[in-house]
Amino acid sequence: MKRNGILNAQLSGALATLGHTDLVMVVDAGFPIPSTATRVDLAIAEDLPKLETVLELVSRELIVEGVVLAEDVVTHNEPLAAFVQETFSDAPLETRSHADMLGEMAQRAKIIIRTGAFNPWGNVGLVCGVDVPRWFDEPGVVVPDYYQDRMRAAESRTD
């Protein structure tokens, strides 16, 4: 038996397929999931599981280098915006229109995880990244400019 982490076999397996730049969406109960997406449906009942619970668990499993929210979250759902910013504090946050989240982002997502959340604009896109210090730790390997900040942040955490 798996000791900890995500126990749901479908979700755990789906997360294991992700690579750098893949998009995962964690969405509310009403999100229109395209038929082409890998759908992991965790919804049982209203707010079961909560969006925040699933985001917290997924954050422990993935390296996230970007977060995407609907513009409406920042202006109309401050508790969710604050939670996402705190949970993914190392990742830049991008906002898109609600229509883009339901359309373009949903079409691009490799995996869409449906929660039981009844949370307005409760749809979060997570762009998968790499563990910069581990990928660029060989002698003679140069860290690209776009990863310098992440390398410095990792080094400061180990000091």
Q: Which residues of 86-97 are buried (b: 16+ CB within 10 A; e: fewer)?
A: ebbeebeeebbe
Total Cβ atoms within 10 A of residue 50: 16
In SS3 terms, 15-73 reads as: HCCCCCCCEEEEECCCCCCCCCCEEEECCCECCECCHHHHHHHHHHHCCEEEEEEEHHH
How is residue 63 written in tokens? 């390296």
How is residue 108 written in tokens? 């691009």
Tell me the pairing of strands 23-27 and 111-114: parallel
The active-site residue out of 20, 60, 76, 152 is 20
CB 81 within 8 A of CB 73: yes
Q: Catalytic site residue 20?
A: yes
Residues carrying an active site annotation:
20
